[in-house]
Structure formats: structure tokens, C-alpha cells
Amino acid sequence: MIPVNSVLQVGHFPEVMQAEIHKRLSPTLHPDPEAPAPAGQFQTILIRSNTKLPEALIKQMPAIRLVATCGVGYDNLPLSYLKEKGIKATNTPGVLNDAVCELAIGMLFGLLRRIPQAQAFVKNREWSKAPFPITTTLAGKRVGIVGMGRIGQDLAKRLEPFKVNIAYTGPSRKDVSYDFYPNIVELASICDVLFLACPATPETDKLINAQVLEALGPNSFLINIARGSVVDEDALLVALQQKKIAGAALDVFENEPNPHLDFLNIDNVLLTPHIGSATLETRQLMTNLAIDNLEAFYNQQPLLTEVKN
């Protein structure tokens, strides 16, 4: 049983998520995270991973004991402050793998076969004037995955039927049959396609820099379904403009929802507005898992998916 007036919902939730929330609880709404905390004895916060939770907001609510974020990434939370105050956090891992991997595969083929450009070609009536330029086949290519975690492993399984060779990098070797490259530059140098599926952490900040892009090379593609901070966008823009890599598909950006304007004027990109988990089914699952964690907290049960901070 979740007590009334105990949950503060911070930030905006899309309609489908808000409907799920209202089926199970009536949180106090606090749409602007930067605004002063409303009056009340809130014990928990419900938030989405695209909304940054300011430390200053929590400081105004000393009774807060749990932050439940909807999303697997928790780089939106002030983790060291939460730890210092003994405030627990939960996220929603696993339930979004299908949607994120489906988008990643869609972006892969959209990028290699230039599907958005091909549609524009038909719609703009260019087809009758000349054939559409030849593109690239995936089969036989080497695909690298940066971050062989839940999403990385699901993605790799989905890629196997496409007749590709898969390799990966990360802090540690995983119990998988794919080739492990401890060094990301070495991985990039052997890849035709490099997927990013790691978390946003201080260690992954601008991990994809000029050196990695140089190693990727002019015939290879980058696909980012992780976080914008993982890529040095200035270096990526140079690499795209100077055709140092063949192209990039980006679902996430350093500055959302206003990505660097130069991305909009480049042809060899496929851009989506951070929609990895944005399907009806997945958003319902994420919302309900976040609420399950709130319920577990109020029922004094173990949290289902606690962030180990």
C-alpha cells in the first residue's frame, strides 16, 4: 500500500506513463525539478531518466528515503549525495532491452542502406531521373559492441542471424563467445560497425574520441544508443564532415532535446530523438517496475531492482 501524499513525481511523464501511474498511485506532481519543493512529508521520488534530479531539491526534503527512476540509466541522479545520505535508488533494467535492441537494429539498416534518404529520393521524385546510389551490405561485416551488458548481449544475439562477426570491449571479459578487446581503439580498428551500449559514467565520458574515430576509419559506421556523453561530439562532427568515418546513427546527444545544429546539416547521419525505450509496451513495463519498487519500499520488502551505488 502506497500512502497518499508520500510520493513526489518530479518532471514530466508522457501520457502513457502518467496513465499507468494513476492506475496505482496519486503522486504529488512537481513538473519543474528546479522549482522549490512543494510542502509535504515526501518519502520517495518518482522520476524519469531524462530528467536531472537536482541535489538542491532533495536537500529540501529530509524525509526522502528512495528515488525510483524510470529507465536503466541513472546518470540523472546525484549518486554520491544519495549515498552520503543513505537514500536508496532503483532503476528499470531488462524490461527495455527489446525496444532498445529493435531500434538499434532498425538504425543499423537505416544507416547502411540509407533508408531515410531512399524514401526522400522517392518522395522528391528523383527516382525517374537517376537510380538511387549503391549502399552497403551487413553480411560478412565485423560488428563491435562497447558495453556487453544486458542490452549489449541482447543486441549481439539479435545480430547473430545477420551473418556478422561480433566482438566487444568493456572493463571485463564476459561469459560470451564473442572476441574480447580490452582496448577500444583496437576494437574500433577491426570494426565495420561500432555500437555503443555502455552507461554514462566518468570513465565513459567522451570515450569515443578522435583517436577511436580515426581507428574506425572511412568505411565504418558508429551507432550510439547509450548516452550522448559517451561521444566527443566535436570530434564526431569533424569525422563525419571530413568523411573519416562512413556515417553515424545517433539516438542520444550531449544536449537533448537540442542537439548540435551541425548534425542537422550532414547527410551521412541517421538521427532519432532518444526513443530507444519509447514504445507503448516498454514504457508501461518501465513505469510498473518503478512503481513495484515504490511498493516494495512501503511494504518493507527488498527492492526489486536497486541501483548498487
Q: Please report, as ranges, the residues that interact with ligand NAP according to CB under 6 A.
A: 72-73, 93, 96, 100, 146-152, 169-172, 197-201, 203-204, 225-227, 251-252, 274, 276-277
Known active-site residue 274: yes
**Closest residue (Cβ) to ligand NAP?**
149
Least distance (Å) between residue 1 CB and ligand NAP: 30
Question: Is 305 within 8 Å of 90 (Cβ atoms)?
Answer: yes
Give me the catalytic one of 256, 283, 295, 306: 256
How far apart CA 6 and CA 1 sit, in angstroms, is 11
Between residues 146 and 289, which has the closer beta carbon with respect to ligand NAP?
A: 146
Least distance (Å) between residue 236 CB and ligand NAP: 16
Between residues 29 and 303, which has the closer beta carbon with respect to ligand NAP?
A: 303
Query: Residue 224: helix, strand or coil by DSSP?
Result: strand
Known active-site residue 30: no
Least distance (Å) between residue 134 CB and ligand NAP: 30
Give me the catalytic one of 48, 114, 227, 283: 227
Between residues 25 and 226, which has the closer beta carbon with respect to ligand NAP?
A: 226
Least distance (Å) between residue 280 CB and ligand NAP: 15
Give me the catalytic one of 274, 281, 295, 306: 274
Between residues 13 and 42, which has the closer beta carbon with respect to ligand NAP?
A: 13
Question: Is 162 within 8 Å of 156 (Cβ atoms)?
Answer: no
Question: Which of 214-244 are b and which e, b meaning 16 or more Cβ less than 10 Å from the residue's Cβ?
Answer: bbbbeebbbbbbbbbbbbbbebbbebbeeeb
CA dihedral 149, 151, 156, 157 (to 10 degrees): 110
What is the full DSSP assignment across 109-176?
Answer: HHHHTTHHHHHHHHHTT-TTTSPPPP----TT-EEEEE--SHHHHHHHHHHGGG--EEEEESSS--SS
Catalytic residues: 227, 256, 274
